[in-house]
Amino acid sequence: MKFFEFFSFTDPNIRYVVVGSILMTVCSAVVGCFTFLRKRALIGDAVAHSVLPGVCLSFLLTGEKNPFILLIGAFITGGLSIFLVEYITTKTKLKEDSAIGIVLSVFFGIGILLLTAIQHGGNANQSGLDSFLFGKAASILPEDLYSFGLVGIILLIGVFFFFKEFTLISFDRNFAEAIGLPVKILEFMLTSITVLAVVTGIQAVGVVLMAAMLITPAAAARYWTHNLTIMMLVAAMMGAVSGIFGAYISYLAPSMPTGPWIVMVISMIAIVSFAFAPVKGVFARLRKQIKNQKQITDENILKLFFQLGEKDQDFFTARSITSLLERRSMRKDLLKNGLARLTDQGFLSKTKDHWKFTEAGKVKGQRVARLHRLWELYLTQYLQLAPDHVHDDAETIEHIITPELEAKILEQLKYPEVDPHDTKIPYKDF
Amino acid sequence: MSSFWIILTGALVAVTCSLLGCYLILRRMAMVGDAISHAVLPGIVLAFLISGSRQTIPMLLGAGILGILTTFLIEFLHKKARLQEDASIGVTFTWLFALGVILISVFANKVDIDQECVLYGEIAYVPLNVWITDTGTNLGPQAIWIMGSILVLVLIMIFTSYKELLVTTFDPSYAAAIGFSTALWHYILMSMVSLATVASFESVGAILVVAFLIVPAATAYLLTDRFELMLVLAAVFGILSSVLGYLLASQIDGSIAGAMATMTGLIFVLAFIFSPRYGILRKKNEADKTGMIIEESKV
């Protein structure tokens, strides 16, 4: 029942929380795509941790928890952290990862020191500052929503209008510079937008896990598409889903911390993407690998039948596994599987424990042998390689050459008779 | 007396972590150390749930397993799923840390760890948790013994395998050529980092341990080019930060661990500015000198 209560959105509090969570997660997911592509994912982590001392300092200076004032403090120290990481990296022999680690841990240490000092200081106003640590999506108030909504909208508008420029500096900074874009200003803008996104998102997931809201949706979305616009939309959607879910969890169980649940959901989405995304996912890639492996085995077996046929001057002799292995060493189980597959596909026919070519099988075996020999000849003629150095390369390329490429090679070599080892190159009308 | 115990704990944590940090920095794995320190959290909680108490051995075991798992996951995402390295680090540790915090909240009534403790530890309580033997002898705070043992382990590792660690750090391909397994030493080092992290966990928390892992080692790196000296300096800076940090915390009544991290930062800033060889002042002087020489040669 709680499910309908929540998802009917009749309760205004639920509306605030849901809108707030979506806004925060979407903003960071969109900006995260740029930081991801610029390979600066962990900078977001440094910014997130560095926001804490800024928040504490603005509270110490003003004595109140006005979200705008806290935001300004957060923005200043967050921005400072990016500057410092770059400064340390350029001025010393320390590498970027060390610089990030230094800035992150020291700023966070200062933040914790200030936060605990404020807590022990007895200012009654301070309660709730610590929600910056783990996020508080569940207790978003209308006034929070206005300030963060404004920041979020500024941010999204900025990304919308400078989409092309940001994309260019993310992918090819040198090119952007060469065509005369103001790269420094654009980078500064992108950095400011990143800081803004972090400062907003922190309200939802907290300092420690903010990095996930920048990195994880972008990383997951990257597995589904090559197009940056689509990647951004996908990342934003994934972010939104995790935001809604986080809000729902904290509605069901108020004692649950919202931030970690949001991160948990987005991480699950990412893990599923890494594993199952078509083309780029681990399983898709594995399947492709196995398919290629099978194709190579099959073609090698057909080539083997053809070579044995050449030797015996008879292409249609039935051959046993042992006689095949005498000519070419292969793993026996792979050979058996390959033979079974080829028989199924009609390239070989089987009688008892012997296999022999069919007409189609001979044509295919002949083609593989031809490609091998053509490539060997090509390498010796055009790359001046010694004839005893070309076999291994031909062994690989024979499975890859397309009919179009074959025609081109034939033309260039002027339909040669023999390969570098003086073996005849077999043609179709052989 | 309790101040002494707190400073001693801080110093033990600092020395252990800074020594390991020297290797992390040179291997460009500072952020992997950061990731491990976050990611051991679910291991600690699970060990707590299974053993039913805050016993040391299960916790070290749980965290050690999680630490290796983290290293493995980062490598897997990077190599097999072809995710870029910074993103694989980021995705892995945030996910595991989130899992840890969720586990803490779900089993809040069974697990005696609170979220704030995760972030900055409870070093102030170290002196309260003493180790009393069956015969009733008071051996001092438990944390001292645990941290001390880990430090001894780290020292043994460094002294017995100094050459292996050095070569695999500076020149992995040469190491492989003379028969040292880089992967093995990588995992050994990462397990030590996990152990150090989890042992420091109760006193300084999962995040601030990063300050001790990275900052003193980085400071030492700015001051010397000799690795032995770097190890010694890092340890000295670690101890110095814990003493000064304690003083600072008692001045402004804030988190001791936070103050210690702040002090590591302060010492780093000093080295960054004044380091005789790599400080920015020195560089500025050199630039001025070169400028003067150029001016003179023009005259």
Residues with Cβ within 8 Å of residue B233, at least 6 apart in sequence:
B219, B220, B223, B224
Do A263 and B29 count as a contact with CB atoms less than 8 A apart?
no
Q: How close is the nearest chain A Cα to the Cα of B48, in Å? A: 19
Look up residue B5 and give its amino acid.
W
Q: Which residue among A244, A277, A310 closes a domain?
A: A277
Range of the domain at A293: 281-430
Q: How far is A424 from chain B (nearest CA, A)?
A: 43
Interface of A with B in 29-88 (CB under 8 A): 36, 39-42, 44-45, 49, 88
Q: What domains can be seen in chain B, in order of their start residue?
A: 2-298 (1.10.3470.10)
Tokens of A276: 């199952």
Contact of B97 with B39, CB cutoff 8 Å? yes
Q: Does A259 share its domain with A293?
A: no
Asked if A287 and A326 sit in the same domain, the reply is yes
pLDDT at A430 exceeding the cut of 50: no
* In a shared domain, residues A240 and A338: no
Contacts of B252 in chain A (CB under 8 A): 113, 117
Last residue of a domain, one of A237, A262, A277: A277
Verify whether the Cβ–Cβ distance B82 to A106 is below 8 Å.
no
Task: Work out the angle between the directed axes of helices A41-62 and A12-37 (0-180°, nearest 10).
Answer: 130
**And the tokens for A113?**
């020191």
Option in B34, B259, B272 nearest A101 (CB)? B34
**pLDDT 10s digits, A177-218:** 899 889 889 988 988 898 888 888 887 788 888 889 999 999
Of B31, B91, B264, which has the smallest distance from its Cβ to A106's Cβ?
A: B264
Cβ pair A98:B214 closer than 8 A: yes
**Claim to verify: residue A403 and residue A384 sit in the same structural domain:** yes
B30, B98, B268 ranked by CB distance to A209: nearest: B98
- Cβ contact (<8 Å) for B34 and A264? no
Do A133 and B77 make contact, defined as CB atoms within 8 angstroms? no
Q: Mark whether A113 and A17 lie in a shared domain.
A: yes
What is the C-alpha to C-alpha distance for residues A206 and A260, in angstroms, rounded to an integer? Answer: 9
Beta carbons of A110 and B91 less than 8 Å apart: no
> Does residue A93 sit in the same domain as residue A126?
yes
Which region holds residue B83: left if phi is over 0, alpha if psi is between -120 and 50, else beta?
beta
The overall average pLDDT reported for chain B is 85
For chain A, the average pLDDT equals 87
Q: Say whether pLDDT at A33 is over 80.
A: yes
Residues 6+ apart with CB under 8 A from A257: A134, A135, A206, A250, B101, B102, B105, B115
Number of domains making up chain A: 2
| DSSP H/E element including A119 | helix A96-121
* Separation CA A241–CA A266 (nearest Å): 8
Same domain, A124 and A62: yes
Measured in angstroms, the CA of A115 and the nearest CA of chain B are apart by: 8
Q: For tokens 């400071």, what's the residue? A: B219
Residue with tokens 């540790």: B93
Contact B103, B72 (CB under 8 A): no
The CATH number of whichever domain residue A37 belongs to comes to 1.10.3470.10
Domain co-membership, A290 together with A185:
no
B203-212: pLDDT as tens digits: 777 767 899 9
Q: Are residues A270 and A359 in the same domain?
A: no
Please determine, for residue A73, whether its predicted confidence score (pLDDT) is greater than 80: yes
Cα separation, A42 vs A104, whole angstroms: 10
Question: Each residue of A130-171: pLDDT tens digit?
Answer: 777 777 666 677 777 787 788 888 888 999 999 999 999 988
A84-93, B35-44, B56-65, range with the lowest pLDDT:
B56-65
**Same domain? A129 vs A236:** yes
Asked if A267's CB is within 8 angstroms of B91's CB, the reply is: yes
Q: A41-62 vs A96-121: helix axis angle to the nearest 10?
A: 30
Last residue of a domain, one of A277, A303, A324: A277
Sorted by sequence, the CB contacts under 8 Å of residue B289 that are 6+ apart come out as none
What CATH number does the domain containing A419 carry?
A: 1.10.10.10
Q: What is the pLDDT of residues A262-320, one digit of tens each?
A: 899 999 999 999 999 988 888 999 999 999 999 999 999 999 888 888 888 888 888 88
Q: Is the pLDDT of residue B299 over 60?
A: no
Quick check: A255 pLDDT over 80? no
Q: State which amino acid sits at residue B247.
A: L
State how far the alpha carbon of A91 is from the alpha carbons of A411, B222, B262, B275, B278, in Å: 58, 11, 21, 12, 9
Same domain, residue pair A331 and A365: yes
Residues A195, A63, single domain; the answer is yes
- CB contacts < 8 A (A, B): 214
